């Protein structure tokens, strides 16, 4: 059965997104493109990270996110506790994010990576398994960790 993949970006990632969508469709994947579809209209990356996160929560698919540098999408998507998003720059980080971190979202910089490297990273991401073992213990610790909040301000303090 063909693997289902979600993909989204901001305007800085639209061009690379359309290259990846064509590539993945040609190679038999079911790709759901959550937009945007034009590089000329500026959009905000947290909105598209949220779209992908919400779909992932329902369907448990793997995801691909792209913004100009990859950094904004990487920060935004890791706010969702069911996501382990990895900003990837090359084949090695694409492999390690699956083997060691069980990443379920790959994040790419549309203005950083060439299309051949990006395609290669996505292929590795989709075809590499999590190694488990000592790495599973670390994933469990991530799961159990709570959001750390700053101390509450004392609103009644005077002076
Ligand atoms: C948009 O210009 C750019 O800031 C965005 O794509 C991304 O690189 C942010 O991290």
Residue extents of the structural domains in the chain: 4-147
Q: Residue 1: is its pLDDT beyond 90?
A: no
Percent of the chain beyond pLDDT 70?
92
Residue 50's SS3 state is helix
* Average pLDDT of the chain to the nearest whole number: 93
Q: Residue 151: is its pLDDT beyond 80?
A: no
The backbone torsions φ and ψ at residue 50, rounded to the nearest 5 degrees and listed phi first, read -65, -40
pLDDT tens figures, 36-72: 999 999 999 999 999 999 999 988 899 999 999 999 9
Residue nearest atom 4 of ligand 1, based on CA coordinates: 68
pTM of the model: 0.92
CATH topology assigned to domain 4-147: Ribose 5-phosphate Isomerase B; Chain: A, (3.40.1400)
Ligand 1 site-directed mutation target among 16, 45, 47, 48, most atoms within 8 Å of CB: 45
Residue 35's SS3 state is coil
């Amino acid at each position: 059965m063909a693997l289902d993949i979600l993909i989204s970006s901001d305007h800085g990632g639209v061009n690379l997104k359309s290259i990846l969508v064509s590539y993945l469709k040609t190679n038999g994947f079911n790709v759901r493109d959550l937009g945007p579809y034009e590089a000329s209209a500026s959009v905000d990356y947290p909105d598209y990270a949220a779209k992908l996160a919400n779909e992932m929560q329902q369907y448990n698919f793997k995801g691909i996110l792209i913004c100009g540098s990859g950094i904004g999408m990487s920060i935004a998507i890791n706010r969702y506790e069911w996501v382990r998003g990895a900003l990837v720059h090359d084949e090695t980080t694409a492999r390690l994010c699956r083997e060691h971190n069980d990443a379920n979202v790959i994040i790419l910089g549309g203005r950083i990576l060439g299309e051949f490297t990006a395609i290669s990273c996505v292929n590795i991401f989709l075809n590499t398994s999590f190694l488990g073992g000592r790495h599973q213990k670390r994933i469990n610790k991530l799961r159990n960790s709570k959001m750390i909040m700053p101390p509450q301000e004392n609103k009644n303090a005077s002076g």
